[in-house]
Chain A
């Protein structure tokens, strides 16, 4: 069967690879194919793919650089923020100290003034108290003399004013 088929196809051998009558045909079409593939590849496909790959590489590199830059910016911003915060803190502490000092000064002044007033008032009070006490003491001796004179009179004695006064004064001192 196969022999006949081969015979019909005009082939002399059983191995088509060694049928040299078809070689020029295959070689011709192979060369055509190779030339076509070579031109399509070297003119269109390979430059395009190479460009795309290079493009992607540069895009990635750029993106990485941009990301790095942004990161630096973020770090700088954070530093600035921290600096500002520290400054504000120092400033606030200064203001607080100043305010405290002022308040202290006012307070001291007010305290001193108040002390003076209090001292004055206290002295005044002392004086009036002394007056009152003196008045009272005088009144007491007066009353004592009167009471003593009355007592002496009541007891039937004649009250010598001088003696009574001396006695009362001595008792009051005693």
Chain B
């Protein structure tokens, strides 16, 4: 707990931005307490409604700017699901769109200074990844029955290698939710912590702090990219996993 004391007098608390606080009062955090998590998730929902519902309320044949953006998101994810998960995967399009919009908007809203990044919390990303994992597993068994297990039995490999490969495949299958969640949470946490560390340098360096401030600006640009790319990666990996469940196994 005394780590900061060893940090050479720099007052850097890169992890403070991730603290979950109750919105009202100071009480203990029960499962129903409205916290900053609630606030920023609510803002994400409102942003989603503004982006996809309000902007398209005129249903114009010639789209306005907002409607073009909404159509862009729709077309992007629709094409991704169709290309990666196959035509069967389109049944899960609303589900994947939900994940994408939530992750993308949370990442982007988290980049507003002083905001709270819900997707930087392992609890959130783990639930998202477990939802995907459970969906894929249940849908796979529902659609293919026991044949879903043939995914682990690599029929193109030599017979001797197959049991070993099956074990590896099985392990990699169960590691999926772990890597899926930690990739997203870790990326965002790392980026925000790095910005905060540089901000701490800026406070301690006097005139020379233009250097860390410039670095923060550069990292902020990188973080914008990371926020978008991680949402994209999370979604496309969901599609890839979903293909195992709904698509052709030997595709």
Q: Name A residues whose Cβ lies closer than 8 Å to a Cβ of B.
A: 1-3, 5-6, 9-11, 14-19, 21-34, 36-38, 40-42, 44-46, 48-53, 55-56, 59
Contact with B71, one of A2, A40, A53 (Cβ below 8 angstroms): A53
In the complex where A10-B28, A22-B20, A25-B33 touch, is A52 in contact with B98 (Cβ < 8 A)?
Answer: no
Return the contact of A41 from the options B71, B94, B123 (Cβ within 8 A).
B94
Would you call B98 and A55 a contact (CB within 8 A)? no
> Chain B interface mostly helix, strand, loop or mixed?
helix
Q: Are A27 and B127 within 8 A (Cβ)?
A: yes
The count of residues in chain B whose C-beta lies closer than 8 Å to any C-beta of chain A is 57
Are B21 and A9 in contact (CB-based, < 8 A)? yes
Shortest CB–CB separation between residue B28 and chain A, in angstroms?
7
Residue among B2, B21, B37 with the highest chain A CB neighbour number at 10 A: B37
Interface residues of B in 146-184 (CB under 8 A from A): none
Of the candidates A41, A49, A55, which one forms a contact with B101 in the assembled complex, judged by CB atoms under 8 Å apart?
Answer: A41
Since A26-B124, A34-B131 are in contact, a sample of 18 more A-B pairs with Cβ atoms closer than 8 Å, ordered by chain A residue number, is A9-B21, A14-B1, A16-B20, A21-B29, A24-B31, A26-B35, A26-B37, A28-B32, A30-B37, A30-B123, A32-B41, A33-B42, A33-B102, A37-B102, A38-B95, A42-B94, A49-B52, A52-B56
Residues from 46 to 66 in B contacting A, C-beta threshold 8 Å = 48-49, 52-53, 56, 59-61, 63
- Judging by beta carbons under 8 Å apart, are B123 and A26 in contact? yes
Question: Known contacts A2-B16, A11-B19, A46-B74; is A17 also within 8 Å of B121 by CB?
Answer: yes
Q: How far is the CA of A15 from the CA of B121 in the complex (A)?
A: 10
Structural contact, B41 and A30, CB atoms closer than 8 A: yes
B contacts, CB < 8 Å to A: 1-4, 11, 13, 15-16, 18-21, 28-33, 35, 37-38, 41-42, 44-45, 48-49, 52-53, 56, 59-61, 63, 67, 70-71, 74-75, 93-95, 97-98, 101-102, 118, 120-124, 127-128, 131, 185, 189
